[in-house]
Structure 1
Amino acid sequence: MNSARRSPIVSPKAGLVMAVLAVSVGAILVRWSNAPSSVAAFYRVLFTTLPLLPVALHRYRDQFRLIDRRDIAFATLSGIALALHFAAWFESLNWTSVAASVTLVQAQPVFVALGAWVLLRERVTRRMVAGIGIAVIGMVAMSLGDLLGGVLVGPNPLYGNALALFGAVMTAGYVLAGRSLRQRLALVPYVVIVYGACTVSLLLIVVTQGHPLTGYPPREWLVFAGLALGPGLFGHTVINWALAHLESSVVSVSLLGEPVGATILAVILLSEVPTFVTIVGGIVVLVGITFTSSASRA
């Protein structure tokens, strides 16, 4: 088993590069969609979850019976947080630049560290405090710098940036709620419960907002499928696979390539050039995230 893990058929590093490219496409696909953001988020999660159900019911049926109510409750809470993340982040892309939205939503390690300190009483090191402080400075620069400079990329960057940050906070909630569960539950049962709760939550958001679930042109369904296939299957699924073959620090740092990749794609495919303040603020945020993540693993 160990030799198989050390020598996979596909290079884990090559797989990780493909995964980062796949998740980088996510923001572009959201921008290409003309459907309400919550609808796009709903179908993104639904189409990612559906292929897992036959596998879960066939191979993991007995494990589902062993899951207690407390674990189901925490997995459901994790799924609700994930749904709020998707809803907020997808909507943020309607109001601010791809560069700002993707960078700010990637700040979840900062909020995980803060949440672990406040809720779980985990120790906060000086390096973590420094990383959080650096990231916050970058967030402020990205959120306010362009407004003060009079150059706007997006209809309402401040609102869009706030939604992206809320999405990052919800991702932190998703991580914290599921942290202990992954030590007790197999990956597929855990993912099915979390994604199932996420799908139902997004469905409720869509219905509450009064958006239709059908009647969209074929182009929209291709975008929905692309969101599930690219960022979902070839992105996050491959990232989870790579974690079995690479150090978590390598994977975490590699994920910081998503804002870079998404920004480059936005320039090429959307003709959206970020402002100088956004670029500098984004770099500062990424440095802060790197500091916080490395300190959390130390």
Structure 2
Amino acid sequence: MKERKASLLLHPYALLFIAILSVSVSSIMIKSSETPTAIAGMYRLYISAVIMLPFVPWKTIRSLSLSAKEWGTFFLAGLLLGLYFLFWMKSLVYTSVASSMVILALQPLFVMIGSYFVFKERASLLSVICLVSALLGSVIIAWGDIGVSKEALIGDGLSLIGTILVSAYMLVGQKLSRKFDANMYSVVVFFLGGSVLLIYSMLNGYSLTNYDSSDWTYFLMLAIVPTIFGQNIFNQLLKSIGATTVSVGIIGEPVLAIILAYIFLGETISFFQFVGGLITLLGMLMYFWRQSLQYSSANRLSH
């Protein structure tokens, strides 16, 4: 199948900001619900796939022809996504949002290393310095909230496994995004990821339907906000700006969560959060400024 050109309604960095803003509310939503995390993740992905299916052109579906290797890559992406949701969402049961988020902030580091081995992408020294600065800010933000109890260590371990899984998912997604329609890719991997969580839920004897109306509203909101306007946009951007740049944006998640909590919940911002947030934003802005220049230059050359 021929490589497809990316078609975006907005500038990729504007879309990246929308996606980061959308996913920044997911940890708060998950923390506030008592439904099994596997069930929430399953319906989150299934509902997202159903909502997005009409946006996949029928011509694309009808003409779709995948080799065994390509089907295997799709299944791998779906498996990685499902396991990521399982481990990361479960981590929030044991540890704090701040602790889980600072571990998730390691994602761009794993993706940058993976990109070097998989796509032979070399990061410049300036890009590495910007990334390390953003990571340092994330550590400072979470410094006062990271737990050291046995439960917190279990949660941190689950979050680390989830971070490795989502990093691998980003790399696989970047490879697939070069050949397939982004909406179709999202629908397929969301369905496959949801199926992974369905199998896990059935093996653990979780009820699939016995939930209150508030729970179904929660599932729907998880699908629309952090998945369709978050994870799906990340999928859309993999082709145009790459997995490393997309994952760097995720470092801004805790910063936006703090700002949203200040605006809507009246929560105070601590000294560590203020200083760490500034360092994170500075590192991210420097990184995105450099990548944006490269993106604009590549676009001019292609035209």
Q: Is TM (by shorter chain) over 0.5?
A: yes
Partner of 1:86: 85
Partner of 2:202: 207
Q: Are 1:32 and 2:27 matched, yes or no?
A: no
Q: Which moved more, 1:48-57 or 1:108-117?
A: 48-57
Structure 1 gap segments, 5+ residues each:
none
Q: Are 1:110 and 2:95 matched, yes or no?
A: no
Task: Tell whether the 8 Å contact from 2:91 to 2:100 is kept in structure 1 after alignment.
Answer: yes
Deviation at 1:146, TM superposition (A): 5.4
Q: Which moved more, 1:229-238 or 1:42-51?
A: 229-238
Q: Distance in 1 between matches of 2:78 and 2:278?
A: 30
Deviation at 1:253, TM superposition (A): 6.0
Partner of 1:257: 252
Q: Are 1:190 and 2:177 matched, yes or no?
A: no
Instruction: Report matched runs for 1:156-167 at 5 Å.
Output: 156-167=151-162
C-alpha distance after superposition, 1:49-94 (max 9, x if no partner):
1123344473422232x22111111111011111111111111112
Q: Please state whether the residue corresponding to 1:180 is helix, strand or coil.
A: helix
Q: Structure 2 length as normaliser, TM-score?
A: 0.73
Q: Please state whether the residue corresponding to 2:35 is helix, strand or coil.
A: coil
Amino acid at match of 2:182: L
Deviation at 1:36, TM superposition (A): 1.0
Partner of 1:68: 67
Amino acid at match of 1:192: V
Q: Call closer, same or farther: CA 1:88–1:272 in 2, change over 3 Å.
A: farther
Question: Between Structure 1 and Structure 2, how many residues are aligned?
Answer: 286
Amino acid at match of 1:189: M
Deviation at 1:186, TM superposition (A): 1.6
**Considering only aligned residues, what root-mean-square deviation do their CA atoms show, in Å?**
4.2
Q: Call closer, same or farther: CA 1:247–1:88 in 2, change over 3 Å.
A: closer
Q: Call closer, same or farther: CA 1:154–1:276 in 2, change over 3 Å.
A: farther
Q: Are 1:169 and 2:168 matched, yes or no?
A: no
Task: Tell whether the 8 Å contact from 2:138 to 2:254 is kept in structure 1 after alignment.
Answer: no
Task: Tell whether the 8 Å contact from 2:111 to 2:247 is kept in structure 1 after alignment.
Answer: no
Q: Please state whether the residue corresponding to 1:101 is helix, strand or coil.
A: helix
Q: Distance in 1 between matches of 2:181 and 2:258?
A: 35
Amino acid at match of 2:211: Y
Task: Tell whether the 8 Å contact from 2:135 to 2:251 is kept in structure 1 after alignment.
Answer: no
Q: Call closer, same or farther: CA 1:83–1:221 in 2, change over 3 Å.
A: same
Q: Structure 1 length as normaliser, TM-score?
A: 0.74
Q: Which has the higher contact order (CA 8 A, sep 6+)?
A: 1
C-alpha distance after superposition, 1:257-292 (max 9, x if no partner):
322122344567789879876877777777777788
